[in-house]
Amino acid sequence: MIDTAKQEAMNKEGEEICERIRKDAADTITKLQLHRQKLLSITYDKMVEHQKGVVSIKSDMVLNNYSVRMRSEKEERRLAQVSRFRKMELRE
């Protein structure tokens, strides 16, 4: 004889467990996506030239280019000022 009531209760309990796991997974994925977006905005998006790497054909070396960070207006002004001072020092 088949106990349908017990089978239905077990199925319902299994569905509840699956739903809980789905909810936890969705929360974890959302948190990780937010962390990823924050890290990208702090690091990768601030680069003018993004770093890339390629594997050499003749050896197992990985060749990377240098990433170039974007400078703020204040940094640009400071760099120009230092450059002008350096040119004046060289003239003397």
**3-state class percentages of the chain: helix first, strand second, coil last, to nearest 5:** 65, 10, 20
Residue 89, amino acid: E
Q: 73 or 70, which is more confident?
A: 73
pTM: 0.49
Average pLDDT over residues 43-59: 78
CA-based nearest residue to 74, from 62, 85, 82, 65: 82
Per-residue confidence (pLDDT) for residue 1, from 0 to 100: 53
How much is the pLDDT for 26? 96
**CA–CA separation, 10 and 15 (whole Å):** 9
